[in-house]
Amino acid sequence: MRRRLLLLLATAMTTVAMAQPTPWTVGVIVSRTGPAAASGVLQAHAAERFAETLGRSGVFGTPIAIDLRDDAGDPARAAALAAELAEAGAVAVLCCTTPAATARVGAALESAGVPLLALTDVDLSDRTWTFGLAPSDRTRLTAIAVDAAGEGKVSLALMTLATPFGDAALDAFERALADAGRSVAGEARYPADAPVLTPEALWIATRQPGAVVVWGLPLDLPIAIDALRRRGYEGLVYARPEAFPVAQLARARTAGAPLRGDDLWTGVRAPVAPALLAGRLPLDHPNHAAVATFIGRTLAGNPAAASAADRVVLALVDDALVWLLAGAEQVAALGLDDGVATRRQALRDALIGLPALPLAAGTYDATDGDRRASGWQGLVVVELGPPTP
């Protein structure tokens, strides 16, 4: 009898062990070391906090295993790590800290049929397995055009560099204005090394467009804004947020009535992630609850534990994993075969079919025809207030 009981117990334990669902393994490739480590360390922290808080409960009780890898800032190493993760059975991969690494990883995962959630802006034209979670220039410029329309501005002009960067900006600007039903008032291009932009700014100012978008880099952006002010342009000025000095982001507030002040940056507007505002985001904003949850999970409830810019870096990784979890739950609810290839295909299809999801760094809604998941509706157009006395 004792032997029979032991045999029955062993059989039951084997049955339970066989019934244990396979964990959902998600690869995360970031630059924890190397030249991009300042951002990579933050990305790694967000992934680790997600694993600690949501990874254990995972997908209806099935754990999510976060396989965190360091590409050391080397795109070739990132691609090799992606191949290793695909071979090891990862159902999806998040990456990367740099656009070059993201592009290499996208190519590696495309042939393997593994969903990639891209953390940098990336070309999706020849990709079927990549989702863009970082807002593209076109997305951000669309948010600007919609904000300007809300202020009654019909036409917008562009000031940008006479470089390939400016070529891409002009293309995105024209497409964004078409998306928003606005008209292009013209564009002024300037050389990267110009110390003053008098003729370019004068050309814009004399046409008096409803708003001017200055899409520049940290060195030329203040020169362009100053030139507009000196040439007498008093309308709305929008700018590329990455080109702001970091200290200016602390002055960001939701856009409102025109501000008075002699400071160069006062009144300049920019489209940013909701997480940048954190506790200053209006309570009725669609992303407010998600931002509060993100702050609690990643920063122990203290938004001041990270700078405004760092919060955005952290939030994008957290968003990617939360969005991925939502897709995985849909797959699990269907009761599909647990094979890795089946999970990958079903997960890709689920992400495309998910309804728009407002999170901390944006609102995500992908379609089969457009996998730029980050939409303009999830961005907040902020305005820089006057300097603190």
Residue with tokens 């303009």: 376
Q: Helix, strand, coil shares of the chain as percentages rounded to 5?
A: 50, 20, 35
Mean pLDDT of the 325-335 span: 91
Instruction: Please give the Cα distance from 358 to 131 (Å, whole number).
Output: 16
> What's the pLDDT score for residue 326?
94
What are the phi and psi torsion angles at 215 (to 5°)?
-110, 90
Local confidence band at 18 (pLDDT 50, 70, 90 cut-offs): very low
What confidence tens digit (pLDDT) does each residue in 129-161 have? Answer: 999 999 999 999 999 999 999 999 888 999 999
Asked whether the predicted pLDDT for residue 5 surpasses 60, the reply is: no
Listing DSSP states for 276-325 in one string gives HHGGGS-TTSTTHHHHHHHHHHHSTT-GGGS-HHHHHHHHHHHHHHHHHH
Tens of pLDDT, residues 92-101: 999 999 999 9
Other C-beta atoms closer than 10 Å to the C-beta of 8 total 10
The structure's pTM equals 0.89
Residues 6+ apart with CB under 8 A from 205: 228, 231, 232, 233
Instruction: Tell the burial category of 293 from Cβ atoms under 10 Å away from its Cβ (0-12, 13-18, 19+).
Output: middle
CB 130 within 8 A of CB 113: no
**Per-residue confidence (pLDDT) for residue 3, from 0 to 100:** 43
Q: pLDDT > 90: what percent of the chain?
A: 63
* Tokens (6 digits) for 200: 């370019």
Q: What is the DSSP letter of 114?
A: -
User: Is the confidence at residue 364, as pLDDT, over 50?
Assistant: yes
Rounded distance between C-alpha atoms, residue 15 and residue 4, angstroms: 16
pLDDT at 214 over 70: yes
- Decide if pLDDT at 239 tops 70: yes
Tokens 């647990």 -> residue: 338
In the prediction, which pLDDT does 160 show? 94
> What is the rounded CA–CA span in Å between residue 156 and residue 348?
37
Average pLDDT of 77-95?
Answer: 97
CB atoms closer than 10 angstroms to residue 113? 14
CA 68 to chain centre: 19
pLDDT, tens digit (0-9, with 9 covering 90-100), for 27-54: 999 999 999 999 999 999 999 999 998 8
The more confident residue out of 63 and 10 is: 63
Q: Model confidence at 305, in pLDDT bands (50, 70, 90)?
A: very high
At 262, the pLDDT band (50, 70, 90 cuts) reads low
Average pLDDT over residues 307-328: 95
- Check pLDDT > 80 for residue 10: no
Nearest to 373 by CA among 124, 114, 177, 126: 124
Q: What is the dihedral of CA 299, 305, 308, 312, to 10 degrees?
A: -20
Confidence of residue 250 (pLDDT cuts 50, 70, 90): confident
Whole-number Å distance between alpha carbons of 52 and 50: 5
Rounded to whole angstroms, the Cα distance separating 332 from 34 reads: 38
* pLDDT score of 8 more than 50: no
What confidence category does residue 251 fall into, taking pLDDT thresholds of 50, 70 and 90?
Answer: confident
- Where do the domains of the chain lie, and which CATH numbers do they carry? 13-135+300-378 (3.40.50.2300), 137-272 (3.40.50.2300)
Taking residues 196-210, what's their average pLDDT? Answer: 87
CA-angle at 135, arms to 223 and 234, nearest 5°: 35
Q: Which amino acid is at 12?
A: A
Residue bearing the bigger pLDDT, 327 or 21: 327
Q: Is the peptide bond before 95 cis (omega within 30 degrees of 0)?
A: no
**pLDDT on residue 195:** 87
Question: Which secondary-structure segment (H or E) carries 3?
Answer: helix 2-19
Q: How many CA atoms does the CB half-sphere of 221 hold within 13 Å? A: 20
| Structure-block tokens of residue 163 | 């470089």
